[in-house]
Amino acid sequence: MSEHLSTTTDVLIVGAGPTGLTLACALARSGIDFKIIDQAAGPHPGSRGKSIQPRTLEVLDDLGVIDAILEHGEPARPVLFTDMQGHEIQRTGAPGASTPATPYPSSVVTPEWRVEEALRSRLEALGGSVIFNVELSELTQLETHVTATTSTGETITARWLVGCDGGHSTVRKQSGITFLGETLEEVRMIVADVQATGLDRETWRIWEGEHGFVALCPLASTEDFSLQILLGAGANPELSLENMQAAVTQQSRRSDIILNKITWSSLWRANVRMVESYRSGRVFVAGDAAHIHSPAGGQGMNTGIQDAQNLAWKLAAVIKGASLALLNTYQEERLPVAAGVLALSSKLMEKTLASHGSAMFGRDWKTNQLGLGYRDSSLSASPDNKHDDRGIQAGDRAPDATGLIVEGKKSRLFDLLRGEHFTILCFGKPGMSMDNLPVYPWLQLRTVQLGSEVVDGSGHLANAYGLPDGAVALIRPDGYIGLVARSDCQAALVDYLAQLAGREA
- Do 265 and 277 belong to one domain? no
- Do 320 and 412 belong to one domain? no
Position with higher pLDDT, 300 vs 502:
502
Neighbours of 445 (CB within 10 A): 16
The answer to whether 120 and 130 have CB atoms below 8 angstroms apart is yes
Q: What is the mean pLDDT of the chain?
A: 89
> 172: part of which helix (H) or strand (E)?
helix 170-174
Burial track 296-322 (b if 16+ CB lie within 10 A, e otherwise): bbbbbbbbbbbbbbbbbbbbbbbbbeb
* Residue 93 lies inside a defined structural domain of this protein: no
**Residue 2 pLDDT class (50, 70, 90 cuts):** very low
Which pLDDT score, from 0 to 100, does residue 375 have? 94
> Mean per-residue pLDDT for 397-411?
95
Output the CA angle 85-91-95, nearest 5 degrees.
160
* Residue 130 lies inside a defined structural domain of this protein: yes
* Residue 88 lies inside a defined structural domain of this protein: no
Model confidence over 310-349: pLDDT tens digits?
Answer: 999 999 999 999 999 999 999 999 998 888 777 655 555 5
* Residue 50 lies inside a defined structural domain of this protein: yes
* Residue 373 lies inside a defined structural domain of this protein: no
Ordered strands of the 445-449 beta sheet: 445-449, 422-426, 472-475, 481-485
* Residue 408 lies inside a defined structural domain of this protein: yes
**Residue 232 pLDDT class (50, 70, 90 cuts):** confident
> 71: part of which helix (H) or strand (E)?
helix 66-71
Q: Which of 238, 254, 270 is the last residue of a domain?
A: 270
- Do 124 and 264 belong to one domain? no
- Do 333 and 469 belong to one domain? no
- The secondary structure of 133-155 as a DSSP string is S--EEEEEE-SS-EEEEETTS-E
Output the CA angle 262-267-271, nearest 5 degrees.
150
- Do 209 and 293 belong to one domain? no
Ordered strands of the 108-109 beta sheet: 51-52, 108-109, 74-75
- Do 451 and 333 belong to one domain? no
- What is the domain-level CATH number for residue 18? 3.50.50.60
The answer to whether 141 and 175 have CB atoms below 8 angstroms apart is yes
Output the CA angle 316-321-323, nearest 5 degrees.
90
- Do 191 and 288 belong to one domain? no
Mode of pairing for the β-strands spanning 258-275 and 291-292? antiparallel
Q: How many domains does the chain have?
A: 3
- Percent pLDDT > 90 in the chain is 68
- Do 125 and 138 belong to one domain? yes
Provide the 8-state DSSP code for 19: H
- Percent pLDDT > 70 in the chain is 89
Model confidence over 252-290: pLDDT tens digits?
Answer: 999 999 999 999 999 988 777 889 999 999 999 999 999
Neighbours of 167 (CB within 10 A): 16
Q: Rounded distance, CA 61 to CA 296, Å?
A: 25
Is the per-residue pLDDT at 362 higher than 60? Answer: no
- What is the domain-level CATH number for residue 423? 3.40.30.120
Q: Rounded distance, CA 382 to CA 411, Å?
A: 28
The three-state DSSP-derived secondary structure of 276-323 is: CCCEECCEEECHHHCEECCCCCCCHHHHHHHHHHHHHHHHHHHHCCCC
- What is the domain-level CATH number for residue 226? 3.30.70.2450
Q: Which of 64-68, 210-214, 401-405 has the lowest mean pLDDT?
A: 210-214
Which pLDDT score, from 0 to 100, does residue 351 have? 55
* CA dihedral over 289, 130, 283, 310, signed as positive or negative: negative
* Residue 399 lies inside a defined structural domain of this protein: no
- Do 262 and 322 belong to one domain? no
- Domain of 438, in residue numbers: 404-501
Three-state DSSP at 396 gives coil
Q: Which of 179-183, 211-215, 393-397, 486-490 has the lowest mean pLDDT?
A: 179-183
Count CA within 13 A, CB hemisphere, residue 404. 25
- The secondary structure of 376-394 as a DSSP string is TSTT-B-TT-TT--SS--T
> 51: part of which helix (H) or strand (E)?
strand 51-52
Which pLDDT score, from 0 to 100, does residue 365 have? 43
> 185: part of which helix (H) or strand (E)?
strand 179-197
Three-state DSSP at 498 gives helix
Q: Which of 133-142, 157-166, 211-220, 469-478 has the lowest mean pLDDT?
A: 211-220
Model confidence over 93-150: pLDDT tens digits?
Answer: 667 789 999 999 989 999 999 999 999 999 999 999 999 999 999 999 999 999 999 9
- Do 13 and 41 belong to one domain? yes
- Do 128 and 177 belong to one domain? yes
- Do 124 and 48 belong to one domain? yes
Which pLDDT score, from 0 to 100, does residue 295 have? 63
Neighbours of 385 (CB within 10 A): 19
> 445: part of which helix (H) or strand (E)?
strand 445-449
* Residue 84 lies inside a defined structural domain of this protein: no
Which pLDDT score, from 0 to 100, does residue 505 have? 40
